[in-house]
């Protein structure tokens, strides 16, 4: 049987994937962010292939009071073997790229996917044990309460909000898996047009995931689900919502301009640590838009949830129409924060 050779561009992508896995060894793969009123900038646990980093000592201090085990890198066997596994996969990518055989590519894909599934299960198992095996003699015991962090996404744990998301290394792993899938599909194609399309898909995947791993943008406010960080009230009307994003990527949601202005006055977050501030567009789909791109209407007739009575507009024509309905003053963000 004739051996099917991989195309040159596929082999190049495999080489880049191997290099990406080597880079994973030097950056955090995952992070768990904890937010609470007493920690305005939050706490962060960084998980590298071979160690834990971030605010480990502070988190361990808090864990002691609620009976959770303290975290120490040497207690995790995964940190002893994971760097070698990642290095092994990087080597496999190089071997397949050099050999250029489709059969080897298929084997690599199956093994890599199996490892990804096993790794996520192991991570979930660790989180489960970490959050359920509590010391019965802890200073603070809440009957029936478990503190398992989310595998991915958000979860409320007492007065802490826990976010579990991939970090740079995790996004690199995802991008490698996505590009590997593209190369496997490409190996089964022979039509030049289809191959060109797959090349485009590979480029888009790589750029998109790279952008997602580096960009900290706004997160949609969910009425009836999200709570205002300042007043703690559930967001009921997202026409007046606001959001603050820090330079570390922390997101704080507010149900009214009044609340975000009040929070800024507390100085819990220094100005230099604020990346962006967003307000909800009063009209349309109520998208979050940077305050520097908005026109603001201040009117007592608006009757916003917490009395801020300020509506934001992405379109000046919309503001003019609403001003006829809600007579008031047109202001800008800088004027508001100086009041």
Q: Same domain for 256 and 320?
A: yes
Q: Same domain for 209 and 246?
A: no
Model confidence at 2, pLDDT cuts 50, 70, 90, reads very low
Predicted confidence at residue 199, as pLDDT, reads 56
Q: Same domain for 251 and 322?
A: yes
Residue 224 lies in a domain: no
Q: Provide DSSP, 264-325.
A: HHHTSS-GGGEEEEEEEBSSTT--EEEGGG-EEEE-TTS--TTS--EEEESSHHHHHHHHHH
Show which of 181, 214, 247 is a domain's final residue. 214
Q: Same domain for 119 and 174?
A: yes
Residue 92 lies in a domain: yes
Residue 166 lies in a domain: yes
Residue 323 lies in a domain: yes
Give mean pLDDT, residues 269-294.
88
Task: Compute φ and ψ for 232, nearest 5 degrees.
Answer: 70, 5
Predicted confidence at residue 191, as pLDDT, reads 44
Residue 219 lies in a domain: no
Q: At what angle do helices 78-99 and 102-132 cross, to 10 degrees?
A: 170
Average pLDDT over the chain, rounded to an integer: 84
Range from 2-16, 175-189, 212-226 carrying the lowest mean pLDDT: 212-226
| pLDDT tens for each residue of 78-116 | 899 999 999 999 999 999 999 888 888 889 999 999 999
Show which of 214, 246, 263 is a domain's final residue. 214
Distances in whole angstroms, Cα of residue 117 to Cα of each of 86, 121, 123, 154, 205: 14, 6, 10, 21, 20
Q: Same domain for 46 and 146?
A: yes
Predicted confidence at residue 4, as pLDDT, reads 62
Q: What is the DSSP letter of 155?
A: E
Of residues 264 and 218, more confidently modeled: 264
Residue 210 lies in a domain: yes
Residue 160 lies in a domain: yes
Show which of 149, 180, 214 is a domain's final residue. 214
Total number of domains in the chain: 2
Q: Same domain for 207 and 276?
A: no
Q: Residue 330: which domain range?
A: 238-338
Q: Same domain for 18 and 165?
A: yes
Residue 177 lies in a domain: yes
How many Cα atoms sit within 13 Å of 133 on the Cβ side? 8
Q: Same domain for 254 and 188?
A: no
Percent of the chain whose predicted confidence (pLDDT) is above 70: 89
Q: Same domain for 153 and 277?
A: no
pTM: 0.60
Q: How far apart are CA 47 and CA 43, in angstroms?
A: 13
Q: How far apart are CA 93 and CA 61, in angstroms?
A: 42
Q: Same domain for 88 and 13?
A: yes
Give mean pLDDT, residues 111-139.
85
Q: Same domain for 191 and 58?
A: yes
Q: Same domain for 132 and 38?
A: yes
């Amino acid at each position: 049987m004739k051996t099917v050779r991989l195309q040159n561009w596929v082999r190049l992508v495999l080489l880049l994937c191997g290099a990406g896995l080597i880079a994973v060894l030097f950056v955090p793969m995952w992070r768990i962010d904890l937010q609470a009123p007493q920690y305005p900038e939050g706490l962060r646990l960084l998980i590298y292939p071979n160690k834990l980093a971030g605010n480990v000592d502070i988190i361990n201090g808090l864990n002691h009071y609620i009976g959770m085990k303290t975290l120490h890198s040497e207690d995790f066997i995964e940190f002893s073997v994971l760097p070698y596994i990642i290095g092994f996969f990087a080597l496999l990518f190089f071997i397949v790229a050099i050999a250029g055989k489709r059969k080897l590519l298929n084997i690599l894909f199956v093994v890599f996917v199996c490892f990804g599934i096993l790794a996520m299960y192991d991570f979930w198992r660790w989180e489960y044990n970490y959050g359920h095996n509590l010391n019965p003699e802890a200073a603070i015991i809440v009957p029936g309460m478990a503190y398992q962090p989310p595998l991915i996404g958000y979860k409320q744990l007492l007065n802490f909000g826990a976010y579990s998301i991939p970090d740079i290394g995790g996004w690199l792993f995802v991008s490698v898996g996505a590009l590997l899938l593209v190369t496997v599909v490409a190996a089964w194609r022979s039509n030049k047009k289809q191959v060109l399309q797959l090349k485009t898909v590979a480029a888009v995947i790589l750029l998109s995931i790279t952008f997602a791993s580096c960009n900290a943008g706004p997160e949609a406010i969910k009425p009836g689900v999200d709570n205002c960080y300042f007043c703690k009230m559930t967001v009921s009307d997202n026409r007046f919502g606001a959001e603050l994003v820090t330079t570390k990527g922390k997101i704080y949601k507010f149900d009214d301009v009044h609340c975000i202005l009040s929070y800024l006055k507390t100085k819990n977050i220094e100005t230099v640590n604020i990346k962006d501030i967003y307000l909800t567009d009063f009209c349309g789909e109520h998208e979050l838009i940077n305050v520097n791109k908005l026109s603001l209407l201040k009117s007592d007739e608006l009757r916003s949830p917490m009395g801020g009575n300020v509506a934001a507009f992405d379109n000046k024509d919309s503001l003019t129409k609403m001003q006829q309905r809600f007579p008031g003053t047109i202001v800008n963000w800088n004027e508001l924060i100086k009041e």
